[in-house]
Amino acid sequence: MNSRQTTALAIPALVLLLAVTGGAADYEVPRDRSAREILPNTPLKGVGYRVNDVVASDGYTDRWSVASDHGSFDANGDGALRKLLVEIQAIGELKKTSKTKAFAKGLAGSAKAPVSFVTSLVTHPVDTVSGVPKGAWDVVENVSVSATESKNPAEDSRMAQALKMSSYKRDIAAKLDVDVYSSNKELQKNLNSVAWAATVGDWAFSAAMLPAGVGGSVVSNVRLANSFKNVLTQEPPQRLRIINDEKMTAMGIGEDLRKKFLDHQQFTPRHMTIICANLERLTGVAGRDAFLTVALTAQDETQANFYMAMAQVLRGYHETVAPLTALTPVNRIVVAQTKTGQALLALPVDRLMWLDRIDTVSAKLKSEYNPAGFSGKFDLWITGTATPAAKQELAARGFTVTDSAGTRVEVVD
């Protein structure tokens, strides 16, 4: 999700499957839909925002636009919209906080603060997904570098202030239930401003002063989501990198693949942490390295979200429906084989229609996927909804479609 000025339309999610051509009669045609039709139970107008009722769709991903008191935003996907609406509320609360006496007292202390990048953090748009200008990244987040290594005594306090601000920022984001690594620049600007005031305000401000946020995901069990939230709040990015690397090592993932994944520009520390935590729970499942190899093809934030959700659906199915035995790459997705014979396709899409590409892909899988123990039946789990035509045509090929997978297993946006 990005502001309107920076959003680039993502490649449709299921184009990740195969590049196909051809056509046939009776295919459905993607059309714009009403926001109320798509999300009948979601408030589409609230304090400071209004969701545009016309929602464009490519047949897989809903593309939302939102007008707010803090600017206009676009969101690619229903999950991205849920996340954005919480962020808009958070921006409003942060702006209220910036008008308080505690905030003013905090900024008054900035004149004596040793960190030289304060002005950029508070007054200028951020230029990294982390919300910290590039020149300050290592100072703020690289906990592997000890402040005591500096020969300049001033560096000790500089590092301490920077790390303290990073910690405050994570606490504030957690309190408001927003992603501290969000690409929403308006959110990042306000998070930075309030975190800095808290850092230099001699405890005049604390995260406890903020109202609790309202999460956007509907999940069946929030325990895993809470574990993600806790580690993302407690640990800076460099520590998360170490944790995730250790988890992948324990899974038997090779060093080269681990490094490529951890260095991938489209995955934030949050993406990586959630993906690794879910893959870790696929105990005994072969092909987790294949999943990561496929995930490396992500070309933008929307595709990074796609793979993060895919990992969660695979884990949820493995733990609550049928144990998985192996993950097999098929172009840019994976097919999971189960102990009970059926295969699982986990596809985090908003809308599944009967299109020529779905026809071709399903026919190809039906004819070519045949590992040992396969029953010939596919479970297709999507996070959105499928049309009656799609369900009917796919059922004729042995595909059982399950809608709204995020209400069946735990999936965080």
Domain regions of the chain by residue span: 2-209, 223-407
pLDDT at site 227: 85
pLDDT at site 1: 53
DSSP 257-296: HHHHHHT-TT--HHHHHHHHHHHHTSTT-BTHHHHHHHHT
**Choice between 222 and 6, residue whose per-residue pLDDT is larger:** 222
Q: 75, 90, 68: which is closest to 1 by C-alpha?
A: 75
Q: 44, 23, 26: which is closest to 35 by C-alpha?
A: 44
Rounded Cα distance between 250 and 349, Å, is: 31
DSSP 209-265: GSPPP------S--HHHHHHHHHHHHS-HHHHHHHHHHHHHHTT--HHHHHHHHT-T
Least reliable range by pLDDT among 24-33, 41-50, 212-221: 212-221
Q: Helix, strand, coil shares of the chain as percentages rounded to 5?
A: 50, 15, 40
Residue 60 has pLDDT above 60, yes or no: yes
pLDDT at site 106: 72
- For residues 202-222, one letter each, b for 16 or more C-beta atoms within 10 angstroms of the residue's C-beta and e for the rest, the string is eebbebebbeebebbbebeee
Q: Reduced to 3 states, what is the DSSP secondary structure of residue 408?
A: coil
pLDDT at site 205: 63
Q: What is the pTM assigned to this prediction?
A: 0.84
pLDDT digits over 158-209, tens only?
667 678 888 889 999 999 999 999 999 999 999 988 888 888 775 556 666 7
Residue 298 has pLDDT above 90, yes or no: yes
Alpha-carbon 176 to chain mean position: 16
Rounded Cα distance between 117 and 213, Å, is: 29
Residue 217 has pLDDT above 90, yes or no: no
Rounded Cα distance between 259 and 209, Å, is: 40
pLDDT at site 44: 92
Q: Reduced to 3 states, what is the DSSP secondary structure of residue 382?
A: strand
| 11-186-222-81 Cα dihedral, nearest 10 degrees | -40
**Choice between 298 and 12, residue whose per-residue pLDDT is larger:** 298
pLDDT digits over 80-135, tens only?
999 999 999 999 999 998 888 878 877 776 655 554 445 555 444 344 334 443 33
pLDDT digits over 354-369, tens only?
999 999 999 999 999 9
Q: 399 near 378, Cβ under 8 Å?
A: yes
Q: 303 near 269, Cβ under 8 Å?
A: no
pLDDT at site 200: 78
pLDDT digits over 239-273, tens only?
999 999 999 999 999 999 999 999 999 999 999 99
Average pLDDT over residues 312-316: 97
Rounded Cα distance between 272 and 241, Å, is: 8
Q: pLDDT band at 41, cuts 50/70/90?
A: confident
Residue 14 has pLDDT above 50, yes or no: no
What is the pLDDT of the chain when averaged over all its residues? 82
Rounded Cα distance between 151 and 68, Å, is: 48
Distances in whole angstroms, Cα of residue 217 to Cα of each of 85, 90, 251, 395, 413: 11, 16, 28, 29, 6
pLDDT at site 391: 96
DSSP label at residue 378: E
